[in-house]
Structure formats: C-alpha cells, structure tokens
Structure 1
Amino acid sequence: MSFRILVPFEVVAQADASARQAGLDEGVRMRRQREREEIRRGRRLALAVLAAAVASAAAAPAMTADANAIPVGPLVANGPKGKNTGWHSWRPAGPEHNEELRSVAARGPADAWAVGYRQSAEAPGVRAPVAEHFDGKAWRATSVPGHAGSGQLDAVLPLSARDVWAVGSWNDAPAYNDRSLAEHFDGKAWREVPLPEEPANRSAYPTGLAAVRPHDVWAVGFTAEERVASPRPLAYRWNGRVWSSVATPDTGGDALLQSAAADGAGGVWAVGVAYDAEGAGHPLTEHWDGNAWKIVDAPHTAGRGEELESVAVIAPDDIWAVGGSGTPDGASVPLALHWNGRTWTSVPVPVPRVAAVLHSVSADKEAGTGTDKGAAAGAGARAAAAVGAGSGVWAVGEQQGVGTPAFTMRWDGKVWRTVPAATDPAVRGGSLFDVATVPNARPGGPKAWAVGSTLPQLKPSWRPVIEGYGPAPTA
C-alpha cells in the first residue's frame, strides 16, 4: 500500500464490518481503521521506503514506546508559579460520543468556532457535521444541515459574527465517491452553499480556508479518483455570490493541498505535499498573487518523505508552515519552515523521543515575530536567528505510541520550545489536530484554543478534545 492512496472512512466501515464477521481481533480492526483514516485525511507522510512496513502493520502489535514519553528539547513550564497558566481542558458542547473536532478559529475572546463530525450510532460509516461556538463562557452546539444531514467539516473561518464559513465533504455512497461540502453561518443559522462540481469519478476534499476579504474567500484541498487514486490539488474561490474553481499549477504527479492563509498583501499561501516518481513526499507551497497560483520552491531533505499540513501568516514577510518529515528508518519528526519574504527555510524544532508530526500552526498577528528583512536565511541556528523576536506562534501535533499523543510547541522568538499539553482526565488519550490564537485575549481567558479527539487511541468509541491555553476554566 502506498502512502499516497487515500481511503475514506466509509470504505473502512465496510471493511470493519467484514472483519467483525470474520472474527478478527478487535485491536487489529481498530489499527486498520486508524491507519486508513489517517491516509484519508492526508495526515500520513509519503514515504515509499515504508510501504512494506505499512502493509504488515495491520498484523503487527501496536507500538510499544514508553507511554509516558516526554518530548526532548527545550521545555517551557505551563506558566508563572501560582498562576495555573497552561493548557487545560474545556468541556465540548456534546453529545461527545464518537465525535471529533477537526478545526478551530477565533475572532476574539468571546467568539470562537470549532467544527468536525459525529459518527452516526444508527448507521455505521455515516457522519453528521458538528459546529460548536464559544461565547466567552462555554462551548455551545449549533445545528448544521450538512448535505441531507450528513457530512464532515474539516475547516472553519469566521469573518464576522454574521459571516462564518466551514468546508468539508459528504459521502455519495451510490457513486462510491465523496463530494465537497460548504456551509455558511449568517448569525442565525447554517445553510449549505454549492461548491463547484468535480467529474463524477473524482471525490473532492476541501480542507483549508483563507480570506483576502469577505467577498474574496478561498478553499483549498484535493480531489481523488474514486476516493483513492491520483490526488490532485483543488482551489475554489468565493466572489460574494458563487464559488468557482481556479486552476492550480501542474505538480507533475500526485499532490494535495491541506491549508491556506491570506498573506496580508492581497495574496494567499497554500501548503501541502507533492509526490515524486518513487512516491516520496516533498513539501509543496503555492502562492496566489492576485492573478494566478504559482509553485514556490521549499526546502526538502534528501532521502526523506516530507509534507506540510498548515500555514500561518503574521506579515507578508513572516510566515510559518509546519508538518512532518519521515526518516529512512521509519521515524517521523516535526517539520517547520519559515518564509522571510524571499525564501522558505527550515527552522530546527525539538525532536520527541517517539515518532511525531505537527498538524497545525497559528500566529497572533499583533505579536509579530519582527522578521529581519535584510537577514540572509541560513541553516540551523542562523535560520532560527533570522526569524525574529516575537512569541505569538503556536503549533500542535501528535506523537505515536504514548498514552496521550497531544503535544504543543511555541516559538519564543529564537527557538521552538515544547509546552506540556493538558493532562487532566477529560483529555487523556487525546490528539490535537488544529490550533488557533485568540486575538485580544482577556487576562483571565484562553490565549489559544486547540482541538482534536481520542480517535488515535484506537478505542471502540472516541470523544472530542478542546484545550485552552490560559488559566484553568472555572466550574
């Protein structure tokens, strides 16, 4: 099995039903489900050298690394002594059974959104979209129609209290494909908004959102033939009336986009992964300059499979992208790239003792990193030194083979430092998929939000995870 193959959850559900009938071990079944779910999301690194290992993973025991492993590298305490500042769990709106939150975004201390999906108890393999809103006191559920009640939301973008976008996909089971899904919230209710139609034999998965202005919104992601083959980048643009498809550059092979961010100068950045002829992933960065999408060279470590999952903009010359880098021996380590207005450079990050990747990055634009425009980007410490002196950048991801996979990092202006994720029982076993800084955060409230789920623990049921960085929430 190639890491490039994208297998949707609905296919997994059918395989799982057969597995149960055949009396296969529950642990093996859940490992298969998790593995294929990861590929479906585009979360797996594209390492051709590991294809054989993946093929045998379904029959192999689960990873047995130290369940209490702590990332190695610079460590930041949770906050000043006695302040109880750090990552703490917040209660999701619920119901929480078999629910996952995929994306989070905040407009302010009393206006944040988190979206994802909930697995149907009545119809295995069918998902219903989820959207929760934070009003300054608690997370509260909203009703999302989805497509005839079904769907999964993978990205959310609030532009105002009356202008919120979310995108994802829904299962077109008769056609054996997944179709793109867009939902808009007008301050009172969510409604489905049509997206461009792809060829009948190609699934469409928009996974990232960015806005230049309210009437210039972008969705990026990928399409795949009959869900599993030949992924290609997609870009849709909203002009205030309709969504339309916009051509992206030919990458020369399989590729996908996973995240987007407006550059603050009328353009948009999108990041993802492009695969070479051997199936190894290379970081993919594309830029919309107002007229066309263009591929911008990004550094790649020879002999590794690498991908970017998220991008965050502080200023046109101060941009971060994160993801993962796979080593030839099968390990994966976090990857961070920085744009200084001219070039992308790799910036060192702490390396955990176990395999790990970064899924998301978010920047507080009011706490810019003060990039030195004249500094020449170098390698190692020189690259880090050239980035600047701010500390408003967060990144989150997950480790493999530990009791609670979630981990977070913060840029302190010179180096990336690990910050312990929440450890209270409500988030035990959780992974984090997205992070969002909070503009104009209040002294007693969260300065950042992170969301995810316990699904990576391969339990028969899973629950959503919400963490806030700041003082512990009051009862």
Structure 2
Amino acid sequence: MRTTVDLEKKMIRNVGRTLRAAAVTAVVGVALAAAPANAAAPVWETLSQPVAGEGGAYILPLDAQNAFAKTRRGTCGSCRLSEKVWQKTGNAWKELTPPADASVTTLTATATDDLWAIGRKDTSTGVFRIHHYDGTRWSGNLNPDTRNLEFQAAEAVGRKSLWAVGNSRAGGRWTPVVTHWNGTSWNTTTFDQFSGDLAAIDVRAENDIWAVGHRDAGGTANDRFQALALHFDGTRWTEVPVPGTAKVSTLLQEVRSNGPDDVWVSGSVLDERGQGAPLTGAYVNHWDGTAWTRRDVPGATFAHSFAVYGGQVHVGVSGAGNLLRWTGGAWEVVGGIQPGMNGVSSLASTPDGSLYLAGSSGFDSVFGGLTYYLQRLAAPAAR
C-alpha cells in the first residue's frame, strides 16, 4: 500500500562510490498542456474530514469503505506538532490512540487490522519508533535498533512483509539503510559505500523494489548532495544512477514503479547558496528501463506523490494546476478538484482503480488558515 511521508532533510557526508556507471539522461523541456476543450472535468466526490480544525490530512485508502488518515496541528515555536491517526469505515471516522511513545509520521497498511505507524516522537531524543496495530491492540516499539536506525518511509505489502528505508547514524555518520520485517525478525541492509539517506520506497513485488534518497559527495560545492536511486531484484541491491544538474544539489523524495521500464522519481533541489530554497520547477525523472529522462513540471515547486489512474501516471504538486497526468508527451492539468486548492499533498489508488487525494487551500499548515480536502475519483468505466 502506498505510504505518505514527511521527509526531514539532513546534512550528511559522503565517503562512498557508485555501484555502476552513470546512465544516459535526456533533459526535456516539457510544457503544461490544457485538457482538450471537449473533455469533461472528472467528477470528484468530496469525503468527510476526520475532525474539524485538524490540519494536514493525509489519506491511506484500503477500499471504497475503509481508510486511514493522519492529521496534525500545533505551532512552530518549538515545531512540535500534534499528530493523530484516524480510521474510516463508511462515512464515519474514529480516532485511534497509538501508544504514548508512538509517532504517526508515516502510515502504511494492507488491511484494517494491519496498520503500521512509524516516526520520531521527539526531536530531542532522535529515537525512531515502529508500532503495529492489529485492529484491536498496538504493539510496543519494534524498531530493531533504537540507538541508530531512522526510518523515513515504509511500505507494507503483506501481513508478514514490511519494507522500510532511512539511515543508520552509527559512528556519527549517516548511512542509507533498507530493512525488511518478515513477520518474525528484521533483515537490515546497510549501504556503507555511501553517506546519505533514503527517503522513499516503492514495492511492486518482493523482487522488484525501488528506494530513493540522496548521497553526499562531500565538500562544500553546491552540487554536493546527489540523487540516489537503488533497485532490488530479489537477490541484490544495485544503484541506478540518476544524473544531476551542475551547481545544483538534488534530494529525491518520491518514487513510483509501474514496471521495469516505467519508474518515476521526484524530489527537491537546493539553491546555489545551499540553503534549501527550491528552484523553479519540480524535479521529476522517468526511467524507461535504459535511461533517465527529465519530465519536469513548469511552475510547480514540489511534486509530492505519484499514483496511477486509468493507466496514466498522476502527480500531486504545489502550484502548476496541483494535479497533473502524463499524456506521454506532456503534463496535463486534471480538473474538477476543489477550487482554490494550493497543493495536492497526497495521492493514493485502491485495488478497484479509484484515485484519492488530500489537499488544501489557504495559507499556512502550521499556524492555521488552511482548508483541507479529501476527495475521491471513482474508477474509470470499463471500455
């Protein structure tokens, strides 16, 4: 099941090497296309919110009747936000109460009785926690290494299979890691050849997994942070190098695989001062099985998440129409979403082919002033 993640960027140092030679890339200037004049706007269903006044709703649908969601609220004097997790049955929401030491930064699930909540509870401790909900009870913290392992994203693919990515902080160095729970124990792979972090994972099958993030080339150059993409074939992990841009650092934050020749990644870039301000245009790359091609979205500052609907890749962004689909030659704005929406923060699809989104309009998600939306687009009619 697709996950929703808040990424904390880290300044880390690289002492590593790449696994294989860089793949060829083509940089393509892609225009935003308008939908055909005779195309009717899709009809979106607006879903009820978990609770009024709680912001930042991210939706994790299971089917037409069941879903989980996360909300958060607070002030940024200390930047400690209150996160809550909710369960939807039909049109009704109820709050679930995780253990006091739990964090719900990342949610992933395969069923109403198979939910995982992962994250860091307190920035002062730096301890990441993993808790499982079986429909009745929450587990204790299942993190196999509470001193060193940080988890940025996870995907549950079965009741006895959870994949998570992040980094290990052992020895004062951040090293990318992937860990797998088989229902009984953890198996953690540490990529010691890199210094860096993994921020997102997509599991198409147990022998077809992508993990993305960034590695650190060291020094103080503007392009010291480089995109990192890894693929697992069931036996070993291999780097699939994503070419960067001169004088620009890149941090990959999202990945979606639709097969060996159709993989999408997106992220953010750091400006030439190295302060993390985004450059104009979201960073989007497509892998066709041989090479990467830039498919950037003009006017969008961030590409938050990918989903497939009606056989087309959709991307939720901030700016530039907020929800777009790839037509094969251009990004096209998808109409019908709530007017005034200033960003689609979360996209997810369900087995029946429906598309769900979480978005907002207004001002600031921390200090208030936002109106939040959860919407559903029913599966396209069979042709």
**Same fold by TM (over 0.5)?**
yes
Q: Give yes or no for the alignment of 1:334 onto 2:282.
A: yes
CA contact (8 A) 2:315 2:325 kept: yes
One of 287, 295, 314 as aligned partner of 2:239:
295
For the Cα contact (< 8 Å) 1:258–1:309, is it kept in 2?
Answer: yes
Q: Which residue of 2 aligns with 1:186?
A: 134
Number of residue pairs matched? Answer: 349
- The C-alpha deviation readout for 1:75-116, integer Å capped at 9, x for no partner, is 3379954xx63566533211534x333x53333222222235
Could you tell me how far apart the structure 2 residues matched to 1:125 and 1:191 are? Answer: 27
Letter paired with 1:131: V
Does the 8 Å contact 1:300/1:306 carry over to 2? yes
Q: Within 5 Å, give how 1:48-87 maps onto structure 2.
A: 73-76=32-35, 81=40, 85=42
Question: Are the aligned partners of 1:94 and 1:141 in contact in 2 as well (CA < 8 Å)?
Answer: no
Give the % identical residues.
Answer: 19
1:429/1:457 contact within 8 Å kept? no
What's the CA shift string for 1:300-355, capped at 9, x where partnerless? 22332222211112223322222234575962311222233x33412423301xx6
Unaligned runs of 5+ in 2: 1-5, 13-29, 379-383
The residue aligned with 2:332 is: 417
Alpha carbons of structure 1 residues 78 and 306: separation in structure 2 relative to 1, 3 Å = farther
Where does 1:232-243 land on structure 2 (aligned, <5 Å)? 232-243=175-186
Cα distance change, pair 92–223 in 1 and its aligned pair in 2 (3 A): farther
Could you say what secondary structure the match of 2:105 adopts? strand
Check if 1:42 corresponds to 2:4: no
Q: 1:429 to 1:197 in 2, by over 3 A?
A: same
After superposition, where does 1:256-267 map in structure 2 within 5 Å? 256-264=197-205, 266-267=207-208
Name the structure 2 match of 1:349. Answer: 296
Contact 1:127 1:152 in 2 (8 A): no
Flag the 1:302–1:454 CA change in 2: closer, same or farther, 3 A: same
State the TM-score, normalized to the length of structure 2: 0.75
Secondary structure at the aligned position of 2:239 is classed as strand
- Residue 466 of structure 1: SS of its match in structure 2? strand
1:218 deviates by: 0.7
Q: Report whether the alignment pairs 1:155 with 2:106.
A: yes
1:237 maps to a residue whose letter is H
Counterpart among 86, 94, 97 of residue 144 in structure 1: 97
Q: Is the Cα–Cα contact under 8 Å of residues 201 and 255 in structure 2 kept in the other structure?
A: yes
- 1:322 correspondence with 2:266: yes
CA RMSD of aligned residues (A): 3.8
Say whether 1:111 aligns with 2:66: yes
The alpha-carbon deviation at position 264 of structure 1 amounts to 2.6
Q: Which amino acid aligns with 1:166?
A: A
Residue identity matched to 1:305 = S
Distance apart, 1:165 and its partner CA: 2.0
| Structure 1: segments with no counterpart, 5+ residues | 1-39, 47-70, 368-389, 400-404, 442-446
User: What CA distance in whole angstroms lies between the structure 2 residues aligned with 1:113 and 1:262?
Assistant: 20
* Pair 178,265 (structure 1): closer, same or farther in 2 beyond 3 Å: closer
**What's 2:217 paired with?**
276
Q: Match of 1:85, SS?
A: coil
Give the Å deviation of 1:216.
2.5
2:267, 2:209 → 1: CA distance? 19
Residues 86 and 95, structure 2, Cα contact 8 Å, conserved in 1: yes
**Comparing both structures, which one devotes a greater share of its residues to helix?**
1
Change (3 A) 1:406 1:177: farther
Structure 1 length-normalised TM: 0.62
SS at match of 1:350: coil
Q: Quick check: 2:7–2:253 contact (8 Å CA) kept in 1?
A: no
Q: 2:152 aligns with which of 207, 228, 232?
A: 207
After TM superposition, give the deviation of residue 360 of structure 1 in Å: 1.3
Residue type at the aligned position of 2:325: R
The answer as to whether partners of 2:31 and 2:330 remain within 8 angstroms in 1 is no
More strand, by proportion:
2
Separation in structure 2 between the aligned mates of residue 73 and residue 127 of structure 1, nearest angstrom: 36
Cα deviation for residue 167 of structure 1 reads 1.6
Does the 8 A contact of 1:256 with 1:272 survive in 2? Answer: yes
Quickly say closer, same or farther: Cα 1:193–1:326, change in 2 above 3 A: closer
CA distance in structure 2 between the aligned counterparts of 1:244 and 1:285, rounded to whole angstroms: 20
